[in-house]
Structure 1
Amino acid sequence: MKLTFWEAAEAVKAENDWKQWADFELTGLEFDSRLITAGNLFVPLKGANDGHSFISSAIEKGAGAAFWSRVDDVPVELPFLKVSDTLKAMQDLAVYYLKKMTPTVIAVTGSNGKTTTKDMTEAVLSQQFKTYKTQGNYNNDIGLPYTILHMPDETEKLILEMGMDHAHEIDFLSTLAQPEVAAITMIGEAHIENLGSRAGIAQAKMEITAGLDKSGLLLIPAEEPLLLPLINGLPQTIKTFGWHDADCQAEIVTEQKEQSTFKIKGSDTLFTIPVPGKYNIGNALIAISIGQWFGLAEEKIQAGLANFKLTKNRTEWLKNQRSVEILSDVYNANPTAMNLVLDSFSQMATSGKRVAVLGDMLELGPDSAAMHASVSEHLNPKEIAEVLLYGTEMKALYNTLKKNYPENKVHYFTKEEKDSLIDTLQSILKAEDMVVLKGSNGMGLNEVVEQLMKS
């Protein structure tokens, strides 16, 4: 991090006499005292635990300075910057650092596919530029400024994932980051409990334009009518991606378990991505469009997509010692995303049987039961032989599905019965079978995946 102590003090308008300490280079920034290394700026955040309580640990780890908002217990062992709100100070410092380092910012949001799109875009742009992206899911008002303040000095393109579960959150993130390019992957039902409807979700996602450069680029899915009335009057260049009447339009060539190949309208180039599913091709179209915006040759875009690395638990193929193929997609879920995964999984070639393990989709509000039940339209016993449902909300799907499936081929487990779910699944799966696991992160299906890999 190319910042000095005095520079940080001026950026956040520190309230104390910080010039009593000689200026020095800060080596980085951390809000977790356990991650502090020599010369770091410690940011004690107030959450379930008050970070100020860990100042001794930060000092022991070698912190060079700290933000401080308490009126008491002022650290005397190291330089500190008095601020009224340590989180706001970190955010203000991130704004300053963006202006100082001047990377081009690309912002990505959407109900599903944000992380995969971010990963693909980073792989494409890194073919020509020094590129940095949000690590893991650091996509909120803490994670986004943290990402900015951790980008390498030489970063030319900065890809920021923007998440939300309430209105006005992306507005804040976009205004902070001031992107040149913004992309909305899709409008699903995630957080519909807080936003009221898919239309409300669409409006919340469109907040990504709050800080978008007026001469910049906005990418939206062509097949999403809820977004069309929201783009009227926007000054930015607006391009669509998708399967019909889109500016970046895909034609699938082949779909396999571990890769997909497609072309785009107006080009004979074959693009291959090392993940399955039509929905992932849609994510790749965003990365292609962003690569084109920044002038990358088609060959570089092609090479980037062919070799991109997917963040863990996003459409991840695994194989255990019993030769069971496992499609793990357990980080998040909403009906639209779950249906897309099931449609793709249903067509994947296998010499064994297909099995689905589905966990609750959370934060769907009063229509949750109906939304869970509607997934039955994407489950056919001729394609997916056996289904295991897990969680309170999945009871609605169980009651619907057992009418269409043979007896004893649909299983239901409460959230307290995870061990029984694992035992039943282990007894069902045989060599060469294929299983997909999909559910909200809060359901902990990653633990089921871990047990399958130990078998």
Structure 2
Amino acid sequence: MNLTFWEVAEATKATNNWKQWEDFDLTGIEFDSRLITQGNLFVPLKGENDGHSFIKNAMERGLGAAFWSALEVPPSQLPILQVTDTLKAMQDLAVYYLQKMKPTVIAITGSNGKTTTKDMTEAVLAQQFKTYKTQGNYNNDIGLPYTILHMPDETEKLILEMGMDHANEIDFLSKLSQPDVAAITMIGEAHIENLGSRAGIAKAKMEIVTGLSDEGLLLIPAEESLLVPLTKGLPQTIKTFGFEQADCQAEIIEAQKEQTTFKIKGSTRIFTIPVPGKYNVGNALIAISIGQWLKIPEEKIQNGLADFELTKNRTEWLKTSTGIEILSDVYNANPTAMNLVLDSFSQMSTQGKRVAVLGDMLELGPDSASMHGSVSEHLNPDEISEVILYGSEMKTLYQILKEKYSEKQLYYFNKEEKDKLINTLKKLLEPADMVVLKASNGMGLKDVVAELLES
């Protein structure tokens, strides 16, 4: 981190007599005392545990300085920066650091596909620039400034993922990061409980333009009618992506289990991504559009997409020692995303049978039952021969599927019966079978994936 102690004090308007300490270089910033290394700045955040109580542990690990907002007197031997709110101090410091380092900022949000799109975009831009991206899911009011303050000095293009579950959260993140390019992957139903409707979700996602440069680029899906009216009158360049009537328009050539091949309108070049599904082609179109905007040659864009590495737990193909193929997509879920995955999975070639394990989609509000039930339209016994449903919200789907599936093809387990689900799945699956697992992260289907791999 290219910052000194005095520089941080001035940027965050620290109120104590910090000039009693000689200025020195800080080596990094951490809010988890367990991650502190020599010369770091410690940010003690107040949450379930007050980070101030871990100051001794941080000191033992060699921290160089710390923000401080607790009533308790800080350690006298430690360079301290007294602030009103340690989180706000970190956010203010991130704003200062962006202004100092001046990378091009790319912001990505959406109901699904944010992380995959971030990974694809970083891989494309890295073909020509020094890049840094959000690590894991550090995409909120803590994770985003933390990401900014962790970018290497030489970073030219910074790719930031922005998450939200309430209105005004993307607005804050956009104003903080002041992006030059912004993209919305899709509008689904995630967090509809807090936002009231898909229209409410679309409005919340469009908050990404509040900090977007007037000379910047906004990318939206061409097929999403809720977004198009919200772009009227905006000063930025608006471009669409998709499969019909889009500025960046794709035609799928071949869809396989572990890769998808497609071409785009106006080009003879063939693109390949090492992930399945039409929805992932949509994510790739965002990366292509950003690459084109930044004048990266098409050949480099093609190479970046072909070799990109997906963040763990996002549409991950795994294989057991007995040959069972697992499509693990257990990090998040909403009806639109689940339906897209099932449509893709239903068409994948296999020597065995296709099996689906579907868990509750959380935070869908009062219409949760009907939304879960709507998934039935994307399940057909001729394509997916057995279905295992898990969680109280999946009961509605279970009742509907009874009309399509026999007792030997359809299973239901409540959340306390995860062990029974695992045992049933182990008995059901045979070598050469293919199984997809999809649910909200809170349902813990990653444990089921782990059990299948271990056995």
TM-score, structure 1 as length reference: 1.00
Q: What corresponds to 1:124 in structure 2?
A: 124
Q: What whole-Å deviation, never above 9, does each CA across 1:93-135 have from its counterpart, x for those lacking one?
A: 0000000000000000000000000000000000000000000
Post-superposition offset of 1:7: 0.2
Pick which of 138-147 and 394-403 moved more. 394-403
When the two chains are superposed, the root-mean-square deviation of aligned CA atoms in Å is 0.4
Q: State the shift of 1:403 in Å.
A: 1.3
| Matching residue's letter, 1:268 | T
Correspondence list, 1:370-389, <5 A: 370-389=370-389
Task: Compute the displacement of 1:332 (Å).
Answer: 0.2
Partner amino acid, structure 1, of 2:323: S
TM-aligned CA deviation for residue 71 of structure 1: 2.4
Listed as ranges, the matches of 1:373-412 within 5 Å are 373-412=373-412
Deviation string 1:38-93 (CA, Å, 9 cap, x unpaired) is 00000000000000000000000101000000122312121010000000000000
Q: Secondary structure at the match of 1:389?
A: strand
Aligned twin of 2:257: 257
5+ long unaligned stretches in structure 1: none
The TM-score normalised by the length of structure 2 is 1.00
- Residues in 2 aligned to 1:283 and 1:289: alpha-carbon distance in whole angstroms: 10
**Secondary structure at 2:144 match in 1:** helix
The residue that corresponds to 1:204 in the other structure is 204
Aligned-partner SS, 1:224? coil
After superposition, where does 1:250-329 map in structure 2 within 5 Å? 250-329=250-329
Aligned to 1:35: 35
Rounded Cα–Cα distance in structure 2 between residues aligned with 1:170 and 1:6? 31
Is 1:112 the counterpart of 2:143 in the alignment? no
Q: Which residue number corresponds to residue 240 of structure 1?
A: 240
Deviations 1:266-315 (A, max 9, x none): 10100000000000000000000000000000000000000000000111
Q: For the residues of structure 2 that align with 1:318 and 1:71, how far apart are their CA atoms?
A: 51
Q: CA–CA distance in 2 between the matches of 1:367 and 1:160?
A: 32
SS in 1 for 2:14: coil
State the identity as a percent.
78
Deviant stretches of 4+, over 3 Å:
none
Structure 2: gaps of 5 or more residues:
none
- Confirm or deny that 1:68 pairs with 2:63: no
SS in 1 for 2:150: coil
2:144 is the counterpart of 1:144: yes
Aligned residue identity for 1:439: A
Deviation of the 1:402 alpha carbon:
1.2
Amino acid at match of 2:80: F
3-state SS in 2 of match to 1:327: strand
Which SS does the other structure have where 1:350 is aligned?
coil
Aligned partner of 1:452 in structure 2 is 452
Q: Does the residue aligned with 1:393 lie in a helix, a strand or coil? A: helix
Which residue is 1:166 aligned to?
Answer: 166
Alpha-carbon distance in structure 1 between the residues aligned to 2:440 and 2:73:
41
Alignment partners' CA distance in 1, 2:77 and 2:257: 57
Aligned to 1:54: 54
Aligned residues: 455
2:67 & 2:399 partners in 1: Cα distance?
54
Could you say which residue in structure 1 is the equivalent of 2:18?
18
Q: C-alpha distance in 2, partners of 1:229/1:295?
A: 28
Distance 1:407 1:440 in 2: 26
Partner amino acid, structure 2, of 1:125: L
User: Shift of the alpha carbon at 1:408?
Assistant: 2.1
